[in-house]
């Protein structure tokens, strides 16, 4: 199906949204390095989370235990007088060794998808009593993109003055990137930066859809002594006690909703998948800037693994930004083949299904409102 051209007149965007919804396929943003650094904060979905609003499962005591351990860890990372001064790098290097004697310099959150690891990681960022510019939060992909944009040495200099670096979804699928980031983290630990991380599954790692702490610690090699692993058990909170995701809508319903909702995008799913292959994943977040709802027609099974992995990144960026997804075609739990769901990237695919299902649930009322 054809897609209308995106709206460019910002002053009248709300008025003409019903006539010309935007298209993600029309966007190929360029992201300067300065933005990559400035945006290393918890994404909008986690902008106001805290340990207090993390809902623990009474049947999983490891969740409450993890919260208390992270509270203690954050309390040890006081900003101190140096955090307010301009000579912060010198202060952090001077304090690194004494701080390390009080406990581990790193925390690794070990658990399956949907147990709230990102919520807890962001809560740690918020709870650490240091200025926002002295804390960094980002995914592994965003961190490698930063190294690519700034260069290794400049990245070390940029982050070594920080009090805390949180890395969500630590990627272990690419040995080269793993060594690169492990080397970077080693330099940051030497500078006195505290670390916190979650991670995903290695290729070929099956089992319960979670990454084992022992494997993470082995992959980061010399850094393992700096990390304390916190096991977080539980089921996917996005589906805990909630109704099933709404069934896909018709193409006509999705198109009508896109034309009715200000700030909505409208794309044919196969065309969007093709477009993602021409935009670097580091720019998927910027591609979604200003989008209030994503409307997709013709959703169908993903044809290959490269395409599937790109969709995972897009799903993460939409979920971070709390952008509801209204779709026609097959349900999101039929996106990935059985071979994919049983392969080495299975955790990523299950996470994407979980997050897209949550976003589809968020969009449930959009079709009704547009009718």
Is residue 216 pLDDT above 50, yes or no?
yes
* Mean pLDDT for the stretch of residues 329-342: 92
Is residue 11 pLDDT above 50, yes or no?
no
* Mean pLDDT for the stretch of residues 317-327: 94
- Return the SS3 of 143: helix
Is residue 186 pLDDT above 80, yes or no?
yes
**Alpha carbon distance 203, 321 (integer Å):** 28
- Return the SS3 of 165: strand
**Which pLDDT belongs to residue 210?**
45
DSSP, res 242:
P
* Mean pLDDT for the stretch of residues 274-281: 93
172 — pLDDT class (breaks 50, 70, 90): low
**Which pLDDT belongs to residue 226?**
77
b/e for 260-280, b at 16 or more Cβ within 10 A?
A: bbeebbbbbbbbbbebbeebe
Mean pLDDT of the chain: 80
Q: Helix 305-320 vs helix 346-362: angle between axes, to the nearest 10 degrees?
A: 40
**Which pLDDT belongs to residue 100?**
40
244 — pLDDT class (breaks 50, 70, 90): low
Are 40 and 282 a contacting pair, CB within 8 Å? no
**Alpha carbon distance 345, 172 (integer Å):** 11
- Could you give the angle at the alpha carbon of 93 between the alpha carbons of 91 and 95, nearest 5°? 70
Is residue 150 pLDDT above 80, yes or no?
yes
Encoding tokens for residue 206?
A: 């099956």
**Which pLDDT belongs to residue 240?**
53
**Alpha carbon distance 234, 63 (integer Å):** 8
**Which pLDDT belongs to residue 9?**
37
Cβ neighbours around 341 below 10 Å, total: 16
**Alpha carbon distance 105, 97 (integer Å):** 10
**Which pLDDT belongs to residue 229?**
83
**Which pLDDT belongs to residue 104?**
73
Are 285 and 38 a contacting pair, CB within 8 Å? no
Lowest mean pLDDT among 100-114, 202-216, 312-326, 338-352: 202-216
Q: Report which secondary-structure segment, H or E, holds 112.
A: none
């Amino acid at each position: 199906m054809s897609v209308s051209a995106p709206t460019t007149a910002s002053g009248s965007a709300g008025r003409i949204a019903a006539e010309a919804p935007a298209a993600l396929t029309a966007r190929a943003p360029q992201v300067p390095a300065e933005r990559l650094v400035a945006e290393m904060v918890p994404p909008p979905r986690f902008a106001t989370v805290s340990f207090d609003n993390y809902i623990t499962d009474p049947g999983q005591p490891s969740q409450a235990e993890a919260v208390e351990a992270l509270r203690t860890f954050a309390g040890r990372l006081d900003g101190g007088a140096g955090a307010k001064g301009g000579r912060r790098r010198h202060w952090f290097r001077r304090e690194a060794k004494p701080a390390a004697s009080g406990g581990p310099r790193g925390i690794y959150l070990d658990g399956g998808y949907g147990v709230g690891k990102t919520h807890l990681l962001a809560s740690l960022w918020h709870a650490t009593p240091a200025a926002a510019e002295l804390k960094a939060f980002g995914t592994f992909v965003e961190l490698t993109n930063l190294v690519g944009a700034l260069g290794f040495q400049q990245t070390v200099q940029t982050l070594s003055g920080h009090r805390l670096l949180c890395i969500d979804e630590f990627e272990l699928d690419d040995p080269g990137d793993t060594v690169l980031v492990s080397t970077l983290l080693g330099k940051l630990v030497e500078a006195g930066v505290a670390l916190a991380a979650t991670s995903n599954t290695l290729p070929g790692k099956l089992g319960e859809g979670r990454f084992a702490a022992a494997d993470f610690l082995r992959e980061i090699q010399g850094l393992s002594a700096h990390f304390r692993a916190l096991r977080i058990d539980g089921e996917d909170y996005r589906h805990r006690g909630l109704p099933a995701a709404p069934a896909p809508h018709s193409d006509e319903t999705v198109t009508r909703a896109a034309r009715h909702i200000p700030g909505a995008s409208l794309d044919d799913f196969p065309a969007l998948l093709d477009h993602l292959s021409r935009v670097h994943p580091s720019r998927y977040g910027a591609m979604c800037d200003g989008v209030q709802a994503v409307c997709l027609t013709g959703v169908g099974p993903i044809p290959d693994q490269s395409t599937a992995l790109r969709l995972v990144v897009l799903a993460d960026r939409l979920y971070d930004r709390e952008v509801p997804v209204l779709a026609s075609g097959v349900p999101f739990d039929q996106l990935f083949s059985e071979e994919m769901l049983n392969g080495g990237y299975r955790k990523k695919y299950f996470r994407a299904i979980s997050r897209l299902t949550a976003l589809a649930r968020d969009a449930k009322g959009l079709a009704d409102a547009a009718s």
